[in-house]
A and B are shown apart, each in its own frame.
Chain A
């Protein structure tokens, strides 16, 4: 029973390039969350998605960042025209229901480095 799968685990991009981070939730989970973590800091909520719908994107910067969770395939967090400040660990988590009812299961994270 595979857990939450994220790839790539490590990604290096130069300023101005695009970064695409992928997340496959646990089997049977239809709720996906993306968090960003800077070194020595906590998890900052970015976006919450259900299949084909963005439910809450209040934590995501209005420009350059987008997320999707298509009917088929993984959830994708896309960062266009990356800048050095985008360097961080990006964690995906999934749950079978609303977070008010249970825990989130985390992937191993994707670590983005912008040169």
Chain B
């Protein structure tokens, strides 16, 4: 079983729509959860972090965490073409930060 799993996509949404990205993790003791965005040929950059159950909103981005279900998601409202990128889910546990394979998102004008 993979430690961090994401749908690889590609996920395609029209401009202005809501994009929903999902991630599951295997280690129940995981303590911190992150969403990174990676443009093609570039390094990952952090867009959201979440540490406790529930929702966390930052502008057009909302992260949702459900530790009982071992599930974390990212919603992007009013999607823009500039949001087109690969989104990496990352899970932290003590020394480790493990990444999912990423979901490629395309926002069509």
Interface residues of chain A, those whose CB is within 8 Å of chain B, are 33, 35, 41-45, 48, 55-56, 91, 93, 98-104, 106-109
> Given A101-B92, A108-B42, 10 other A-B contacts at CB below 8 A?
A41-B102, A43-B99, A56-B95, A99-B32, A99-B95, A100-B94, A103-B34, A104-B46, A106-B43, A106-B45
The answer for the CA separation of A103 and B99 in the assembled complex, in Å, is 12
> Any chain A CB within 8 A of the CB of B17?
no
Q: How far is the CA of A48 from the CA of B97 in the complex (A)?
A: 10
> Which chain B positions have C-beta within 8 A of A109?
43
Tell me the bound Cα distance from A63 to B88 in angstroms: 29
CB distance from A99 to the nearest CB of B (A): 4
Contact A103 B98 (CB under 8 A): no
Check if B58 is an interface residue, CB within 8 A of chain A: no
How extensive is the interface on chain B, given as a class? 20 to 34
Q: Which of B1-54 contact A (CB under 8 A)?
A: 6, 31-32, 34, 42-46, 49
For B92, the chain A residues whose CB sits under 8 A away are 98-101
Sampled A-B contacts (27; CB under 8 Å): A41-B101, A42-B6, A42-B88, A42-B99, A42-B100, A43-B44, A44-B99, A45-B97, A45-B98, A48-B96, A55-B95, A91-B44, A93-B97, A98-B92, A98-B94, A98-B95, A99-B96, A100-B93, A101-B32, A102-B49, A103-B46, A104-B97, A106-B43, A106-B44, A106-B45, A107-B43, A108-B42
Q: Give the nearest-CB partner of A41 in chain B.
A: B101
Q: How far is the CA of A106 from the CA of B88 in the complex (A)?
A: 13
Q: Across chains A and B, which 6 residue pairs bring their CB atoms closest together, nearest first?
A: A42-B101, A99-B97, A99-B92, A100-B31, A43-B99, A106-B43
A29 to B99 CA separation, bound complex (whole angstroms): 21
List the A residue with the shortest CB-CB distance to B91: A99
- CB neighbours (8 Å) of B99 from chain A are 35, 42-45
Q: In the complex, which of the residues B49, B93, B101 contacts A103, with contact meaning CB atoms closer than 8 Å?
A: B49
